[in-house]
Amino acid sequence: MQDDDKRLAAEAAVAEIRDGMRVGIGTGTTVAFAIAAIGRRRREWPSATFFSTSQDTTKITRAAGVPIARFADQAELDLAIDGVDEIDPQLRAIKGGGGAMLREKIIASAARRMVAIADGTKRVPALGRAPVPVEILPFARAFVAARTSALGASPALRMTETETAYRTDQGNLILDCRFDAIADPGKLAVALQAIPGALGHGLFLTEIDAAYIAQDGIVTKMER
């Protein structure tokens, strides 16, 4: 089952935690299994400190008995564990389905080692199956949508189940930008980052150092 694979990948990544580490925790359904594992093993790392990428993760983590520290006071972490929406053989990924990619990228960039976790359905030969989320300033919604369209995207404003515009923890909007193909992820990342009003995007091209991918009960470790 897919959930069993998510759990196996998450538990493999959690095994990298050591006492005294500063650990960033991502957001999403696979990360929820990592949080559960951390909660069960918390006593093994009495001096470890944990940091969250979203309000949802903070709530779940604290409910599991794991305190969350203030990341704003940190310049560097030892380890980050997070899920992906898709990942290619070069450990390039698209993230942001949970809406937290801006904070996730900050945590991933601050970490000396970033570990991705996923079930086998998230492996792709090339990026582009999933849309690329772009967090935008509400003031610039139409402008950024037009600029992403000029890059070849079909942008869609992310909505909630109640048909209101989805808001990030920062109060911003998300455009889910679907591309027919991403021929050059690096070039696209630079172009998206250069759009005024685009605050962050879900292309994680260099941040991931390793990945644990589980499929049919078997965990594969990939290293950059």
pLDDT per position as a tens digit, 122-134: 999 999 999 999 9
- 11 catalytic residue (yes or no): no
pLDDT per position as a tens digit, 156-195: 999 999 999 999 999 999 999 999 889 999 999 999 999 9
Give DSSP secondary structure letters for 161-220: TTSSB---TTS-EEEEEEES--S-HHHHHHHHHTSTTEEEESEESSS--EEEEEETTEEE
Residues of the chain predicted below pLDDT 50 = none
Give phi and psi for 97, each to the nearest 5: -60, -30
pTM: 0.95
Taking alpha carbons only, the member of 222, 211, 99, 86 closest to residue 158 is 99
Rounded-to-integer distance, Cα 222 and Cα 204, Å: 16
Q: What is the pLDDT of residue 8?
A: 97
Catalytic residue among 11, 16, 44, 104: 104
